[in-house]
């Protein structure tokens, strides 16, 4: 766990923070001293629960609903966060979806939906938040990618492509905005135990993946969140365009 003041005085916006890894990231940021803007789409109760847990850690928090595919709604969300908290120091692009479909059966709408949520959403959120960071000459953006974006995987080509795109987006942004004081990096977890992955982690496919891991276990959401918090802190000052991989050895780039 990071020091309770590692992110003191900072405001972090986490998209997709109503549950799972996003909620864990929001709470980890609060534990490190940040106030947190909880971004979400439909999980109102989950977002409210995340806000309550952040406040229970002694930090300020509020929930902000937005469809990250819609540039107008993204701009409105970021404006509302700045109006509420006065600033944005960190952005964690975590919002994403992962439906399964083989390429031979995948519709164009299915492809577009995943690309728009997982990749375009991160682009739009970054584009909206960056002026608030560049104006002060400081800030950190973290993309939540996936091991599958590094190795590919049957049945989720749209998801793997979007997650691979996030890594390239982070590298490109890092070269653009790094000289102006804003860092951009990526975290690419492997299978992570959350309420959303119980079918994967306990099923036959999960057991096969587990057997391939040198760690002998899957990650938990708090461990992924720790990598994210590190990249948001000053301790990661030399990290630009990098990808951290809390995956138990499932991929060794």
- pLDDT class of 209 with cuts at 50, 70, 90: confident
Average of per-residue pLDDT across 215-235: 94
pLDDT digits (tens, 9 = 90+) for 74-121: 999 999 999 999 999 999 999 999 999 999 999 999 999 999 999 999
CA distance 96 to 93: 9
Helix ranges (DSSP H) in the chain: 20-31, 44-56, 71-85, 108-115, 121-134, 148-151, 157-177, 198-202, 204-211, 221-232
Which amino acids are annotated catalytic?
A: 159
In CATH terms, the superfamily for domain 11-244 is NAD(P)-binding Rossmann-like Domain (3.40.50.720)
Q: Could you tell me the pTM of the whole model?
A: 0.95
pLDDT digits (tens, 9 = 90+) for 15-70: 999 999 999 999 999 999 999 999 999 989 999 999 999 999 999 999 999 999 99
Q: What is the reported pLDDT for 1? A: 54
C-beta separation of 43 from 18 below 8 A? yes
C-beta separation of 114 from 159 below 8 A? yes
């Amino acid at each position: 766990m990071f020091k309770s003041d590692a992110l003191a005085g900072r405001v972090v916006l986490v998209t997709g923070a109503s549950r799972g890894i996003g909620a864990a990231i929001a709470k980890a940021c609060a534990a490190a001293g940040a106030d947190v803007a909880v971004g979400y789409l439909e999980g109102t109760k989950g977002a409210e629960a995340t806000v309550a847990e952040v406040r229970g850690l002694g930090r300020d928090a509020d929930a902000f609903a937005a469809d990250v595919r819609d540039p107008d709604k993204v701009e409105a969300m970021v404006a509302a966060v700045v109006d509420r908290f006065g600033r944005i120091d960190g952005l964690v692009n975590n919002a994403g979806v992962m439906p399964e479909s083989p390429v031979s059966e995948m519709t164009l709408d299915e492809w577009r939906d995943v690309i728009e949520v997982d990749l375009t959403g991160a682009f739009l959120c970054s584009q909206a938040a960056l002026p608030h960071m560049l104006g002060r000459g400081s800030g950190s953006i973290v993309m939540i990618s996936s091991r599958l974006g590094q190795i590919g995987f049957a049945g989720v080509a749209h998801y793997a492509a979007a997650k691979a795109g996030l890594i390239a987006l982070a590298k490109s942004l890092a070269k653009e905005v790094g000289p102006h004081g804003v860092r951009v990096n990526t975290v690419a977890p492997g299978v992570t135990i959350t309420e959303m992955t119980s079918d994967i982690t306990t099923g036959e496919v999960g057991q096969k993946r587990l057997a391939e891991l040198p760690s002998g276990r899957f990650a938990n959401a708090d461990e992924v969140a720790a990598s994210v918090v590190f990249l948001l802190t000053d301790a990661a000052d030399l990290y630009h365009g990098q990808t951290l991989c809390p995956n138990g050895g499932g991929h060794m780039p």
